[in-house]
Amino acid sequence: MKRGYIREDGMIFMRMLKGMPLWVTAEQYKNREDSRKRYVRKCMKMYKEIRTDIKSFGEYDHRKNLYFIGISTSGKEVWRNKVFYENAIEKIKRNKKKYNERCKQLPKTDLKFGSPHPEKLGLYVINKIGNKCIFGNLKKLESRRESISRIYRKRHFKSKKRRDQALLGIERKKRGQTRLEDGKIFFSYNRVGKEIWIDEAVYHEKRNKELEKRRLYHIEKRQKKCQ
């Protein structure tokens, strides 16, 4: 039986006490959970103040031959063997998959990244998981936007390097070039240097989207300068 299991009469399982299950009311369970979370935050704060070398999950210590799992409620580091670490990774993946599936089943929303909260002022969409929106203040939005930009820049340069190596010494085709055999138009090279040829209608559609996106980007850039 897992912590938080709700019985037919509304009582919630808390833990085992002297070999017997401890059942509490919803209000008692909430109060104990709030107290536990406050205590965990306090321990984490103390840990970060004391330690200068903060460990990350899965960090390996060759002297101990153990992996870092996290911080206990008493503020001490928790280290476990490889089997425990691999099982923890699999559990995290399963829980993440279940969470993503639940988020996909939520009602669809028109909100996008950066959209303001429909009811609460000062909150914006900083992430979307399926149909679920995660909100945060303007500072978190800017931090998230910069983090995403760094990821995309890193991917772009990695893909560009791989593509340039594949096309080394080859005369590159220009976008918009028509192939005589089937009338398809050259659009670009993919990440591994393979040519992408598409129909004329698809080409114009993609091209118009690019131009519209560029236009909106310049408008947003001008608005930021005015602010």
Q: Quick one: pLDDT at residue 146?
A: 93
Average pLDDT over every residue of 125-153: 92
Q: Quick one: pLDDT at residue 220?
A: 84
Number of domains in the chain: 4
SS3 content of the chain, % helix, strand, coil (to 5): 45, 20, 35
**Residue 222 pLDDT more than 70?**
yes
Instruction: For residue 119, give the DSSP letter.
Output: S
The pLDDT confidence band at residue 83, using thresholds 50, 70 and 90, is very high
Domain co-membership, 44 together with 71: no
The pLDDT confidence band at residue 129, using thresholds 50, 70 and 90, is very high
Print the domain residue range for 136: 113-165
Domain co-membership, 43 together with 90: no
Task: Tell me which of 165, 191, 206 is where a domain ends.
Answer: 165
**Residue 108 pLDDT more than 70?**
yes
Domain co-membership, 160 together with 174: no
Work out the burial of residue 12: count CB atoms within 10 Å of its CB; fewer than 13 is exposed, 13-18 middle, 19 or more buried. buried
Rounded-to-integer distance, Cα 214 and Cα 206, Å: 12
The pLDDT confidence band at residue 19, using thresholds 50, 70 and 90, is confident
Domain co-membership, 187 together with 153: no
The percent of residues above 90 in pLDDT, for the chain, comes to 48
10 Å Cβ neighbour count for 144? Answer: 18
**Residue 48 pLDDT more than 80?**
no
Mean pLDDT taken over the chain: 88
Q: Quick one: pLDDT at residue 52?
A: 66
10 Å Cβ neighbour count for 141? Answer: 19
Q: Which two tokens stand for residue 160?
A: 């560009």
Q: Quick one: pLDDT at residue 100?
A: 92
Check: pTM over 0.75? Answer yes or no: no
Domain co-membership, 161 together with 172: no
Rounded-to-integer distance, Cα 134 and Cα 116, Å: 11
**Residue 194 pLDDT more than 70?**
yes
The percent of residues above 70 in pLDDT, for the chain, comes to 97
Domain co-membership, 179 together with 221: yes
